[in-house]
A = this chain, B = another copy of it.
Amino acid sequence: MGVGGNNAETMTTGKDTKPDIVVAALVVIGEEILSGRTRDENIAYIGAYLSRAGIALREVRVIADEEEEIVAAVNQLRHRYTYVFTTGGIGPTHDDVTTDAIAKAFEVGVGLDDDAVNALRRHFDDKELTQARLRMARIPDGAELIDNAISRAPGYRIGNVIVMAGVPHIMQVMLDAVLPKLDKGQPMLTRSVRIDAPEGDVAAPLAALQTACPKVQIGSYPFFEQKRLGTYVVLRSTDEQSLDDAYEGLWRIIVENGFEAAKAETG
Contact = CB atoms under 8 A, between A and B. Distances in A.
Interface of A: 1, 4, 6, 28, 31-41, 43-49, 51, 56-66, 69, 91-96, 124, 128, 130-133, 135, 151, 167, 169, 188, 190, 192, 199-204, 206-207, 210, 217-222, 224, 229, 234, 236, 267
Q: State the copy count for this chain.
A: 2
Nearest to A26: B62
17 contacts: A33-B60, A34-B57, A36-B46, A36-B49, A40-B44, A59-B61, A60-B60, A60-B61, A61-B62, A91-B220, A91-B222, A94-B203, A95-B220, A130-B203, A132-B200, A133-B200, A167-B224
**Which 5 pairs between the two chains have the least Cβ-Cβ distance?**
A36-B48, A132-B203, A36-B47, A37-B267, A60-B62
Q: In the complex, which of the residues A34, A60, A221 has the most CB atoms of chain B within 10 Å of its own CB atom?
A: A34
Contact of A47 (B1, B35, B93, B167): B35
A31 B217 contact: yes
B33 A219 contact: no
A130 B201 contact: yes
Given A35-B51, A36-B45, A59-B69, 11 more contacts: A31-B217, A31-B219, A33-B43, A33-B44, A34-B56, A37-B48, A39-B44, A61-B61, A92-B199, A94-B207, A132-B199
